Amino acid sequence: MAQTLAEKILARHSGRDSVKPDDFVMAELDLVLGNDITAPVAIKEFRRLGAKTVFDKDKIALICDHFTPNKDILAAEQVKYVREFAREHNITHFYDVGDMGIEHCLIPEKGLAQPGYLIIGADSHTCTYGALGSFATGVGSTDMAAAMAIGKAWFRVPHTQRFNFKGKLRPFVTGKDLILYTIGKIGVDGARYQAMEFGGEVVSELSVESRLTMANMAIEAGAKAGLFAADAKTVEYLKKAGKDVEGLHPDPDASYHKVYDFDVSDLEPQVAFPHLPENAKSVREAKGIKVDQVVVGSCTNGRIEDLRQAAEVLRGRKVHRDVRMIVIPGTQQIYLQAIQEGLVQTFIEAGAAVSTPTCGPCLGGHMGILASGEVAISTTNRNFVGRMGHPQSAVYLAGPYVAAASAVAGEIVHPEEVLS
């Protein structure tokens, strides 16, 4: 029976030759993930269940990233609770300040997500790892607790929607623009509890970093998972993490719930207007909107490619006097590489602030909260009411090129207007 990527992975992990949409399966897990917000709840439930030990200390990742370095006493207590659990159970993949990163940047970097893996995480953007050919999805903390104990979880096999991108991308158009455009077309519930499978000639040319950005935001369309075939680029990316893996592709004659074919040759950089990611428009439609804050970072766009794009725009230029710009590398390794490549110097000379890895402002946590009436353009993934601070603030979503150009101009602009 021909299978989509999602169906192949769920079949393998549930001991079946094949599965079909709406089947219920109990499947073995390759990785269980939690962070400093969600893991404490899971740990309490784990103990309430009476579990004495985790199913596999090498297949659990606990990453302190949302409110770290600790922003207040409550955050410090949360992380302390996770830290003590990690030590008690000798968790191999526990990452704290100085050795951490934003979880969905760090997991790929460490090679903990691989083609064919089945991963759950108590964070909705766990779907990021689909860029590497994993079936990865967010769950609640109680599901995480049970998974830490038994190493299994149940799934309803999702229907799959296929998205084919053809043509040749214009300058300054990246994976962020493709996913914003896609969400704009299908809506924030257009793939609810379905798998989004991405392909086509444009996707084949995309970097793994751009694919990670696209898979990351599958949840913004309501998807259970967002998946890419694991091709030669995937294999090479994971080789740098010390992992020797094989590719993974859907069957050519797999059956899809829906198929979309997008010719993106004329696509311009996208901006998602408040207060939903589906409000995607051409950057030219946003021209002239004044901004108070610019954020480059997050699990969506905090990788080295993203920092290079922002630095390309900022090099030799200054952040507008009325704008605060915050740059947050996704991991310590990315931070170090940005220093070695001179990107951090470029940011500082331009007048931007550079932070240690943290989710920080993305969820209105710390390191860049908006006041009433303020406007931000951000490379993050959500622009809901109050997402980055005051409920009367506004967030526009875009890629690093547009964000950096807007920081220089003091208003939302196409990058070519700053670089010309």
Q: Is the pLDDT of residue 362 over 90?
A: no
**110-124 mean pLDDT:** 97
CA distance 318 to 291: 15
Contact predicate 311/347, CB 8 Å: yes
pLDDT digits (tens, 9 = 90+) for 386-406: 999 999 999 999 999 999 999
Are 69 and 356 contacting, i.e. CB atoms less than 8 angstroms apart? yes
Q: Is the dihedral of CA 224, 144, 333, 246 positive or negative?
A: negative
* Gap between the Cα atoms of 118 and 10, Å rounded: 7
- Whether residues 313 and 211 share a domain: the answer is no
| pTM of the predicted model as reported, rounded to 2 decimal places | 0.95
Cβ–Cβ under 8 Å, residues 400 and 309: yes
129 and 224: one domain?
Answer: yes
H/E stretch holding 73 reads helix 73-88
User: Is there a domain that residue 226 lies in?
Assistant: yes
Is the residue at 177 inside a domain? yes
Residues 390 and 286 in one domain: yes
- pLDDT-derived band at 190 (thresholds 50, 70, 90) equals very high
Considering its fold, how many domains does the chain have in total?
A: 2
Domain check: are 71 and 203 in the same one?
Answer: yes
Separation between Cα atoms, residue 228 and residue 215, nearest integer Å: 8
404 shares a domain with 300:
yes
> Residue range 100-127: average pLDDT?
97
Q: What is the mean pLDDT of residues 87-113?
A: 96
Same-domain check for residues 213 and 113: yes
Confirm whether 250 is domain-assigned.
no
Query: CB atoms < 10 A from the CB of 150, how many?
Result: 14
Per-residue model confidence (pLDDT) at position 143? 96
Predicted confidence (pLDDT) per residue in 281-304, tens digit: 999 999 999 999 999 999 999 999
Residue 252 lies inside a defined structural domain of this protein: no
Same domain, 296 and 231: no
Domain-located, residue 111: yes
Q: What is the CATH number of the domain that holds 280?
A: 3.30.499.10
Q: Domain of residue 363: give its range.
A: 272-419
**pLDDT for 420 beyond 90:** no
pLDDT of residue 284: 95
Number of neighbours of residue 57 by Cβ within 10 angstroms: 15
Q: Indicate whether 113 and 72 sit together in one domain.
A: yes
Spatial separation of the C-alpha atoms in residues 182 and 201, rounded to whole Å: 16
Residue 89 region by backbone torsions, left for phi larger than 0, else alpha for psi between -120 and 50, else beta = alpha
Q: What is the pLDDT of residue 1?
A: 84
Residue 361 phi, psi (nearest 5): -70, -20
Report pLDDT for 381: 94
Please provide the average confidence, as pLDDT, over all residues in the chain: 96
Q: Is the domain of 281 the same as that of 180?
A: no
In a domain, 315, yes or no: yes
pLDDT in tens, 132-167: 999 999 999 999 999 999 999 999 999 999 999 999
What does the pLDDT read at residue 68? 87
**Rounded average pLDDT over 17-40:** 97
Average pLDDT of the residues in 14-34: 97
Average pLDDT over residues 84-92: 97
Within-domain flag for 41: yes
DSSP E strands, 14-138: 24-28, 31-35, 60-63, 93-95, 118-121, 135-138
Could you tell me if residue 179 is inside a domain? yes
- Convert the pLDDT of each residue in 31-77 to its tens digit: 999 999 999 999 999 999 999 999 999 999 999 999 989 999 999 99
Q: What percent of the chain has pLDDT over 90?
A: 97
